[in-house]
A and B are shown apart, each in its own frame.
Chain A
Amino acid sequence: MRKAFGDVVALDGVDLAVPRHGRLAVVGQSGGGKSTLLSLVAGLLEPDAGTVRVDGAGDARGRLAGCALMPQKDLLLPWRSALDNAILALQNRGMPRPQARELARPLFEALGLGSFEGSWPGELSGGMRQRVAFLRTLLAGKDVLLLDEPFGALDSITRAQMQEWLLEALAYEPRTVVLVTHDVEEALFVADRVAVLSRRPGRIVAEFEVDFPREGPRREIVTEPAFVVLRVQLLKALE
C-alpha cells in the first residue's frame, strides 16, 4: 500500500502480514511513517493505493472495530482513576461503570497493578502510566493491538522492565500485536518477526524471523549470540 500527505510520500509499497496472535515489530527512524502505518491499520486513515485488512475487514470502520491503539503518550485522563481510565472502551460500548470495574479488576490483579486501581494518573510514575494505558488497550477487547512506541518516553531501565511486563501480559492475554519502535533491542525481545522501514518514502527494506528461544531473564536473552547477530543485521538494514 501507499500513503502520501500532499507531496510527502510517507509509505510506499509496504506489504506486511501478521498471523493471528503473531507479534510483528516495525523498526525505523523517527519521522519515518511508522505512526502513519499504524493509523492506516487502525482505520484512522485510508491508504491512497492498496488495501489494509484486519481480520478480513477492509473498510475503515471494520478496521477500527478490530484494532486498539496504544499511543506513545499515555493520554490517561487526569479526572479518572487508573481503573476508570482502563475501562473507557467498556463504557464507550455502553457497559455501566460498576460492571466494567468488576471486569477490569482481575486483570489489574493478575498484572501486578492491583494496589494502583484507585490512583490518579498524576500520582503514577511514567512506567505505571504506560501499564495502565496498556490495560486500557487490552480491555478494549480487540484482537489486534497497535503499539506506537509505547515505551519511547521511558528511561532505559524502566523500558527494560516494561518489555518483560508486556511479554507477561501477552502470555496472560494473547493478542495479535503490531509494535512500532526505534529500539532494535525492544523489537527483537518482544516480537517474533521484525520488519525494517526505510526513511521517506517508507518502504520495507528487510524482514527478519526471530526464531531463537527466548526463555529466562532479559539480560541473558539480549546477550545470547543469536540475539546479537540478529541485532547487528537489523542495525545494518537500518543504515
Chain B
Amino acid sequence: MRARLRAIAPPLVVLAVAIGLWQLLVWALDVPDWLFPAPSAIAADFGRDGGLLARNGWVTLREVLLGYAVAVIGGVALGVLLHASGALRRALYPILLASQTVPVVVLAPILAIALGYDLAPKLAIVALVCFFPIVVGAVDGLRSVDDHYRRLMLTLDASRVAIFRRVEFPASLPSLFSGLRVAAAYAAVGAVFGEWSGASAGLGYVMLQASPALATARIFAAIALLSAISLALFALVSLAERVAAPWARQERARAG
C-alpha cells in the first residue's frame, strides 16, 4: 500500500500544482472564459452541463468499449493466425506494417460515407486504430518464445496445439498486454474522429457544437471526461493483466 502511494503521489502533486498555476495565471491575467477558461470555470460547467456531458459521454464510452472489444477479438485472432502460418505471416505482416503509414483517423469521413452516421462507423474507426498495436503485441509475444521450450515440449509429448496452449500463449501475454495498453490509449481518439465526421451525439459532437458558441469551458469539460474514459480503460487493462499474467511483473522486476 505504501509503495502504491509512493507511485501515485508524485504525479498527483505535479498535477495539482499545474492546475493551481493555471487557475492563478487565468485570474492574474484576467483571461476571459471564452478564450481560455480557468479550472474553476470548467468545474462549474460540469455542474451546468452535467446531464448533457453524461449523456454524450455514455455514447462515446459505448463506441470506445465496443470498438475496443472488436479490435481485441480481431487482433488476437489475426495474431494467432499469423503465428500459426509462416506463409500467411510472410505475406500479410509487411502489408500490415506498411498500412500504418496511412493515419487511420483520416479514414473516418470515408467510413461515414460507407457506413452512415450511427454507431457503425465510429466502432469501425476505434477498432481500426486499436487493431494494429494488438496484432503486433500478439505476434511479437508468440514469436518471443525461445525454441528450447518447443524442443522440450516435443520430448514431453506435446502436440502443436499443446505447445501453443501451455507455452506460447501464456508466454505471449506480457507482450500482448503492452499492445492492449497502447490500444486503450488510442481508442478515445478514434471515437472522437469518428464523431467529427458526422454524428448527432457523443463528446466529439459536444465539442463541435460548443466551438462556434464559444462555450470553451464545455469543450474542456468534454476533453476531461474523454481522458477520464481513456484512463479508466487503461486501468481496466492493467488490472486484467495483473489477473491474467501475475508472473509478468515479477519477471520484469527480475529482468530490470
User: A residues near B, CB below 8 A?
Assistant: 39, 42, 44, 64-65, 67-69, 71, 73, 75, 77-79, 88-89, 91-93, 120, 122, 136, 140, 142, 146
Contact of A140 among B157, B166, B170, B250 (CB under 8 A): B157
* Contact A93 B157, beta carbon cutoff 8 Å: yes
Kindly state whether residue B19 has any CB partner on chain A within 8 Å: no
Known: A44-B155, A68-B155, A92-B156. 13 other contacts (CB 8 A): A44-B151, A65-B157, A69-B151, A75-B149, A75-B152, A77-B167, A77-B171, A88-B153, A91-B162, A92-B153, A92-B157, A120-B247, A136-B156
In the complex, A91 Cα to B148 Cα: how many Å?
19
* Contact B153 A78, beta carbon cutoff 8 Å: no
In the complex, A64 Cα to B151 Cα: how many Å?
10
Give the residues in chain A near B146, CB-CB below 8 Å: 75
**Min C-beta distance of B195 to chain A, whole Å:** 41
In the complex, A88 Cα to B120 Cα: how many Å?
45
Nearest opposing residue in chain B for A88, CB measure = B156
**Min C-beta distance of B142 to chain A, whole Å:** 15
Nearest opposing residue in chain B for A63, CB measure = B155
* Contact B155 A64, beta carbon cutoff 8 Å: yes
Give the residues in chain A near B148, CB-CB below 8 Å: 71, 73, 75
Give the residues in chain B near A142, CB-CB below 8 Å: 155
Kindly state whether residue B101 has any CB partner on chain A within 8 Å: no
Quick one: given A73-B148, A78-B247, A120-B247, are A42 and B166 in contact (CB under 8 Å)? no
Kindly state whether residue B251 has any CB partner on chain A within 8 Å: yes
Contact of A77 among B154, B166, B245, B250 (CB under 8 A): B166
Kindly state whether residue B85 has any CB partner on chain A within 8 Å: no
Give the number of A-B contacts (CB < 8 Å). 61
Task: Indicate with 1 or 0, residue by residue over B218-256, a CB within 8 angstroms of chain A CB atoms.
Answer: 000000000000000000000000000101001100100
**Min C-beta distance of B34 to chain A, whole Å:** 55
B interface residues, tally (CB under 8 Å): 22
Kindly state whether residue B21 has any CB partner on chain A within 8 Å: no
**Min C-beta distance of B230 to chain A, whole Å:** 29
In the complex, 23 of the A-B residue pairs with CB atoms within 8 angstroms, ordered by the A residue number, are A44-B154, A64-B154, A65-B157, A68-B155, A68-B156, A71-B148, A71-B152, A75-B146, A75-B148, A75-B149, A77-B171, A78-B251, A79-B245, A79-B247, A88-B153, A88-B158, A89-B156, A92-B153, A92-B166, A122-B251, A140-B155, A140-B157, A146-B155
Give the residues in chain A near B153, CB-CB below 8 Å: 88, 92
* Contact B155 A42, beta carbon cutoff 8 Å: yes
**Min C-beta distance of B182 to chain A, whole Å:** 23
Nearest opposing residue in chain A for B155, CB measure = A69
User: B residues near A, CB below 8 A?
Assistant: 146, 148-149, 151-159, 162, 166-167, 170-171, 245, 247, 250-251, 254
In the complex, A65 Cα to B159 Cα: how many Å?
12
Quick one: given A136-B156, A140-B156, A140-B157, are A91 and B166 in contact (CB under 8 Å)? yes
* Contact A89 B247, beta carbon cutoff 8 Å: no
Give the residues in chain A near B245, CB-CB below 8 Å: 79
**Min C-beta distance of A41 to chain B, whole Å:** 10
Give the residues in chain B near A73, CB-CB below 8 Å: 148
In the complex, A142 Cα to B155 Cα: how many Å?
9
**Min C-beta distance of A140 to chain B, whole Å:** 5
Chain A to chain B: the 6 pairs with minimum beta-carbon distance, closest first: A89-B156, A69-B155, A78-B247, A92-B158, A92-B157, A92-B162
Quick one: given A68-B156, A120-B247, A122-B250, are A88 and B149 in contact (CB under 8 Å)? no
Give the residues in chain B near A71, CB-CB below 8 Å: 148, 151-152
Give the residues in chain A near B251, CB-CB below 8 Å: 78, 122
In the complex, A68 Cα to B247 Cα: how many Å?
27
**Min C-beta distance of A62 to chain B, whole Å:** 13
Give the residues in chain A near B151, CB-CB below 8 Å: 39, 44, 69, 71
Nearest opposing residue in chain B for A89, CB measure = B156
Among A42, A67, A78, A120, residue most surrounded by chain B Cβ atoms (within 10 Å) = A78
* Contact A67 B250, beta carbon cutoff 8 Å: no
* Contact A77 B170, beta carbon cutoff 8 Å: yes
* Contact B170 A122, beta carbon cutoff 8 Å: no
* Contact A122 B247, beta carbon cutoff 8 Å: yes
* Contact B170 A79, beta carbon cutoff 8 Å: yes
**Min C-beta distance of A3 to chain B, whole Å:** 16
**Min C-beta distance of B242 to chain A, whole Å:** 13
